[in-house]
Amino acid sequence: MSQEQMTQPGGGARAALMIDRLLTAMSTLAILLTLGGLFLSMMAEVVIRYATRSSLGWPNEMPALLFPWLTMAGAVLAAQYGRHIAVQLLAQSLPAGAARLLMAAGAVLAACTFGFLTWHGMKVMKITGGEVYPVTGLTANIPYAALIAGFVGLALTALTTLPLIFRAEDPVFARNIAEEH
């Protein structure tokens, strides 16, 4: 079942589809912005270095600030398209009803795990808030916020997978979306 087939149902499935679309759009935007930011900052550093034989300094801090956002946005996007590595042998060997329950339990467990990581990530942010990058003066909370945003996105993706699991013909592959060529 494709996500487009989720547009007909009401209630929770419709809300899940809207959340999925929002997560996909936000992840895609984060990927484009971070790649663009990394490219432009490195290009500026190279141009200034060749033109003036000196360094801007701040572009050297950009990978540490932006790469976590790129990574976590990619993780959420991969989860949205069912592209994470999963061990599905047990679920494939079960009858459809039991496979649905197993996949749903896995999705709930994933949501709880990412919720736990979000909670503890907030605690880590309180500790790292005092760490400052020397050139930009930005705090280490920026990359840690990427982890928290990613964990929230992954938890929401796990929860929005539940309607897909219960509506899909094959619950094991409820999130697998065909690649567009």
Give 32-42 pLDDT, tens digit per residue: 999 999 999 99
C-beta of residue 167 within 8 angstroms of C-beta of residue 14: no
Dist. CA 102–CA 162, nearest whole Å: 11
3-state secondary structure 128-149: HCCCECCCCCCECHHHHHHHHH
State the DSSP H helix or E strand holding residue 61, giving kind and residue range, or none if neither.
Answer: none
| pLDDT in the model for residue 66 | 97
Residues in the chain: 181
Per residue in 60-114, pLDDT (tens digit) is 999 999 999 999 999 999 999 988 877 788 888 999 999 999 999 999 999 999 9
Residue whose entry in the numeric block shows the structure tokens 């419709």? 14
| pLDDT in the model for residue 130 | 86
Dist. CA 98–CA 1, nearest whole Å: 19
Report in angstroms the alpha-carbon separations of 156 from 35, 53, 63, 98.
24, 48, 27, 23
Per residue in 127-171, pLDDT (tens digit) is 888 899 999 999 999 999 999 999 999 999 999 999 999 998 888
C-beta of residue 164 within 8 angstroms of C-beta of residue 1: yes
Question: In sequence order, which residues have a C-beta less than 8 Å from that of residue 48 and are 6 or more positions away?
Answer: 54, 55, 56
Domain ranges for the chain: 10-173
